[in-house]
Structure 1
Amino acid sequence: MTAAALVAAYEHPYTRHPASGTTTEQVLRAAFRGVLAEAGLRAEDVDGLGVASFTLAPDHAIDLAWRLGLRLRWLMEDPHGGASGLNLLQHAIRAVEAGDAATVVLLAGDHLDRAAFRHLVENYNRATAETLTPLGIAGPNALFAMLTQRHGQATGLSEKDYAQVPLSQRRWAARNPHAVYRAPLTLDDYLAAPVVAPPLRRYDCVPVVTGADAVVVRAGAEGPRVEVRAFGASHNHDGQRGDGLHTGHHLVADRLWADAALGPADVDLACVYDDYPVMALAQLQDLGLAPDPRRFLHERLADGHWPLNPSGGQLSAGQAGAAAGLHGLVEAVRHLLGRAGERQVDRARHALVTGYGMVLHRYGACANATILEGKR
């Protein structure tokens, strides 16, 4: 079996206000070129392509491949939002190991102006269009506000506790030149921000941006690389009948750590899907990194500055549509390759990356996670 590894990662800069005429194809093309340059490859070297995007339609992965001038042996498109990046990675690794492709580029991104974003949230899926939109629920804020209320009641956490997630990530974002929001954020700033849906405030909700992300998976890489030690996924784990306080991660956590031959204390950084602070925390609890959430928030994040989403996460770097599914993977790969610049986590060797999303009636139905190891 051929060994497969991640050899490069690239993020086309996110922006809240893209130039007039910007298209989704343009930002995906820019990410494609950027990651090839990072890897020292040419388009002719690529024989596999995976794509995730909400706004590429009516085009699909094959249309994008044609426009990029690619001739491929392996092609995949994944529409599952925050879980799509790791879904693509899982299949790309298997494809390379099986010899179906030797060099795979995974791309995810969107251009979302105001009109495109409104159409997306009102027609996200049939459950949204038929059940939520008629109630005046435009987007997931109200759903995750209710989930935050339930989580707070179950854990005893207050708004000042949840604030530690965006505050910690903003400190990291200050060292990320590509983060959309880098200005210092204090607890007073957080508490003074407008309430969006009680108890969620402005800084609890991801800012919508335009941008794209990319990684390269190659066969037989011998130089600096990142290998997948373990992978786990659980989709539609409870049929939307639970309270949402557990993600599907809790069903795969034990097997994930066992397959990796590691434990939660062994990871040097975590890049978890952070559309809202409560969901970052729920995933960390399910995966064993935050068994005592209040202690984790105040001793590891606030006082210890532990590297949770050192890009700034989506809460500070932005959420570029389906690119959110690759954002954490790109950040983790950068650190494990020693290419994260000023925010580089010292001696980073192991990282946890998660995906989460695809809200149905009440909360996300998809969850996946991977444990990565850097080889330098």
Structure 2
Amino acid sequence: MRGTAAIVGVGHGGMGEAPGRSHFDIIADATHAALADAGLKLSDVDGVFSATMINSMPAVSVTEYLGLRPKVTEGTNTGGSSFLAHLQWAALALDAGLCEVALITYGSNQKTGAGKFVSTSEVVPFEAPYKPRYPVSAYALAAARHMYEFGTTREQLAEVAVAARTWANLNPEAYATGPLTIDDVLNSRMLSSPLTVRDCCLVTDGAGAIIMVKADRAKDFPKAPVYVLGVAAENWHRWVSSMPDLTVSAASRSGPRAMEMAGVTHADIDLTMLYDAFTITPVMFLEDLGFCPKGEGGRFVADGKLRHGGGFPLNTNGGGLSCVHPGMYGLFLLIEAVRQLRGECGARQLDNPQIALCHGNGGHWSSQVTAILGTGATL
């Protein structure tokens, strides 16, 4: 699949707060922005890939709202990782000639529509008696175990949030900006020990969209194409009580598979975009994806290397911790990676990046999807 499809347009809608707008409204905004970015019309789209937090048939519902009649419709929902998985299926559909212009889109008005942290309506009989606060308790459980096994500290977790804020302060679209210190994170309200409010992602509105075409058409568009070099997905469980090891996620399998498909090594990665719904997730993903040994994630991040100018660019938009997190975040990883690889990020722009690794997480550490994107120079 390496290099067979490319992203030629990206767009946002309703970032932060979109009062009075439905999730469909801001999905439409993001879609039209991505189409304009690609120099295409809505009528050009003949493949729709989407998941939402509300609709039982998300891709069908999005298709209806946009007034489309696609040849391919795919709406598998694996949580926040869904859109990286859709990247894989869109690339395969394009390569097989099932469609010519694929749209991947998502949106939520979670902030202004409800204003509450994402929870779940499902009853889990073997977890419910302990009254967990979903989803934070599932991640707090893993954080506590990681601290117990490897000596990871709350200060090291807090550094992830502080680093994200240094990038957000350079991003005009970021929702949370301004000073943030390790003490600020540690002293904020405890939600589920050991995670405080500042260890947890934002609750915002927001929508995103990506336009993809087959590689042989990719150079015919206004912006430089960004190619899909590799994608791999893994899932080992649904609920955290069934997670085989609380300190190892399925990213330990998806990462190596995606990198093998892309033909790259860790030394080739110029930008890393990791799902940061909680400060523990980048720490564990850095380990599972092979950027540092298992158990060393806390020490890896502790010296400020993730901050702007720290030498290891991670979540350069500010991430789910400081930029945007409308319930499911994975699509925004891809959009930031594309903009960085095209050199469009202004004050936070990296120096000539060529390859980006994006990693999405869904459920309670449940679904892990790794994608490798590259510029034309990487083909």
TM-score by length of 1: 0.90
Kindly provide the CA deviation profile for residues 271-292 of structure 1, in whole angstroms up to 9, marking residues without a partner as x: 1111111111111111111223
Partner Cα distance (1:23, 1:131) in 2: 35
Aligned position for 2:62 = 64
What SS does structure 2 have at the residue aligned with 1:163?
A: helix
Aligned position for 1:93 = 91
What SS does structure 2 have at the residue aligned with 1:321?
A: coil
What SS does structure 1 have at the residue aligned with 2:74?
A: strand
Read off the aligned partner of 1:369 and give its amino acid letter. Answer: T
Partner Cα distance (1:7, 1:281) in 2: 31
Aligned position for 1:230 = 230
Contact residue 249 and residue 283 of structure 1 kept, 8 A: yes
Aligned position for 1:332 = 337
| Aligned with 1:272 (options 271, 274, 277) | 274
What SS does structure 2 have at the residue aligned with 1:259?
A: helix
What SS does structure 1 have at the residue aligned with 2:330?
A: helix
Aligned position for 2:155 = 160
How far the C-alpha of 1:373 sits from its partner, in A, is: 0.6
Read off the aligned partner of 2:172 and give its amino acid letter. Answer: P
Aligned position for 1:286 = 288
Partner Cα distance (1:120, 1:168) in 2: 24
Read off the aligned partner of 1:221 and give its amino acid letter. Answer: A
Read off the aligned partner of 1:104 and give its amino acid letter. Answer: A
How far the C-alpha of 1:349 sits from its partner, in A, is: 0.5
Q: CA, structure 1 residues 143+295, in 2 after alignment: closer, same or farther (shift >3 Å)?
A: closer
Contact residue 118 and residue 135 of structure 2 kept, 8 A: no
Contact residue 51 and residue 58 of structure 2 kept, 8 A: no
Partner Cα distance (1:339, 1:78) in 2: 31
Kindly provide the CA deviation profile for residues 241-280 of structure 1, in whole angstroms up to 9, marking residues without a partner as x: 4232111111233333222221112101111111111111
More deviation, 100-109/222-231: 222-231
Read off the aligned partner of 2:320 and give its amino acid letter. Answer: Q
Aligned position for 1:253 = 255
What SS does structure 1 have at the residue aligned with 2:93?
A: helix
What SS does structure 2 have at the residue aligned with 1:121?
A: coil
Aligned position for 2:200 = 205
Contact residue 53 and residue 321 of structure 1 kept, 8 A: no
More deviation, 239-248/183-192: 239-248
Q: CA, structure 1 residues 119+282, in 2 after alignment: closer, same or farther (shift >3 Å)?
A: closer
Aligned position for 1:150 = 145
Correspondence 1:347 to 2:356: no
More deviation, 221-230/232-241: 232-241
Kindly provide the CA deviation profile for residues 291-326 of structure 1, in whole angstroms up to 9, marking residues without a partner as x: 23244213422572521100100000131123x121
Aligned position for 1:73 = 71
How far the C-alpha of 1:333 sits from its partner, in A, is: 0.9
More deviation, 134-143/242-251: 134-143
Correspondence 1:221 to 2:221: no
Partner Cα distance (1:59, 1:142) in 2: 28
Aligned position for 1:105 = 103
Aligned position for 2:51 = 52
Correspondence 1:321 to 2:318: no
How far the C-alpha of 1:87 sits from its partner, in A, is: 1.2
Contact residue 179 and residue 311 of structure 1 kept, 8 A: yes
Partner Cα distance (1:159, 1:11) in 2: 33
Contact residue 173 and residue 179 of structure 1 kept, 8 A: yes
Partner Cα distance (1:36, 1:253) in 2: 30
Aligned position for 1:196 = 191
Unaligned runs of 5+ in 1: none
Partner Cα distance (2:117, 2:265) in 1: 42
Q: CA, structure 1 residues 255+23, in 2 after alignment: closer, same or farther (shift >3 Å)?
A: closer
How far the C-alpha of 1:159 sits from its partner, in A, is: 1.0
Aligned position for 1:27 = 26
Contact residue 60 and residue 73 of structure 2 kept, 8 A: yes
Read off the aligned partner of 1:315 and give its amino acid letter. Answer: L
Kindly provide the CA deviation profile for residues 159-199 of structure 1, in whole angstroms up to 9, marking residues without a partner as x: 11111111111000001111110112112222221222221
Partner Cα distance (1:118, 1:342) in 2: 32
TM-score by length of 2: 0.89
Kindly provide the CA deviation profile for residues 308-367 of structure 1, in whole angstroms up to 9, marking residues without a partner as x: 100100000131123x121111111111111222211111100000111212xxxx2111
